[in-house]
Amino acid sequence: MAAIREDRLVDTAVALVEVPSPTCEAGAVADRLASLLVEDGFAVERPVAAWPTAPAVVTRLDGGAPGPTLQFDGHLDTVHLPFVPPRVEGGILHGSGASDMKGGVAAMCEATRALRDAGALTAGSILLTAHDHHEAPWGDGRQLEALIDEGYVGDAALLPEYLSDSLPIAGRGLAILKVTVRRDGEPVHEVLGGTEQPSVIAAGAELVRRFEQLDETLSHRKHPVAGRERIFVGSVQAGEMYNTAPTALTLDGTRRWIPGTSNADVQQELDDLVTQVARERGLPIELAFRPLRGAFELDPAHPVVAAFQHAHEAVVGAALPAGPKPLVDDGNTFSDRAGIPAITHGPRATGAHTVDEQAPVSELVRVARIYARTALSFCAGPTT
> pLDDT 10s per residue in the chain (384 long)?
999 999 999 999 999 999 999 999 999 999 999 999 999 999 999 999 999 999 999 999 999 899 999 999 999 999 999 999 999 999 999 999 999 999 999 999 999 999 999 999 999 999 999 999 999 999 999 999 999 999 999 999 999 999 999 999 999 999 999 999 999 999 999 989 878 889 999 999 999 999 999 999 999 999 999 999 999 999 999 999 999 999 999 999 999 999 999 889 999 999 999 999 999 999 999 999 999 999 999 999 999 999 999 999 999 999 999 999 999 999 999 998 999 999 999 999 999 999 999 999 999 999 999 999 999 999 998 755
**Based on the domain organization, do 53 and 154 belong to the same domain?**
yes
**Based on the domain organization, do 191 and 152 belong to the same domain?**
no
Instruction: Establish if 129 belongs to a structural domain.
Output: yes
**Based on the domain organization, do 97 and 245 belong to the same domain?**
no
**Based on the domain organization, do 19 and 133 belong to the same domain?**
yes
Of 293, 319, 339, which closes a domain? 293
Listed residue (217, 331, 206) closest to 277, CA to CA: 206
Cross-strand bridge partners of residue 171: 296, 325
pLDDT for res 193: 87
Q: Return the SS3 of 164.
A: coil
Cα separation, 98 vs 19, whole angstroms: 12
Sign of CA dihedral 326, 55, 103, 342: positive
The domain total for the chain is: 2
Cross-strand bridge partners of residue 22: 78
Q: Domain range holding 125?
A: 6-171+295-379
Name the burial class of residue 71, with classes exposed (0-12), middle (13-18) and buried (19+) by CB atoms within 10 angstroms of its CB: buried
Q: Would you list the DSSP string of 223-284?
A: ETTTEE-EEEEEEEEE-SSTTEE-SEEEEEEEEEE-TT--HHHHHHHHHHHHHHHHHHHTS-
The domain that contains 125 carries what CATH number?
Answer: 3.40.630.10
Helix 200-218 vs helix 263-281: crossing angle, to nearest 10: 140
Q: Return the SS3 of 156.
A: strand
The domain that contains 177 carries what CATH number?
Answer: 3.30.70.360
Global pTM reads 0.92
Name the burial class of residue 302, with classes exposed (0-12), middle (13-18) and buried (19+) by CB atoms within 10 angstroms of its CB: middle
Q: Return the SS3 of 23.
A: coil
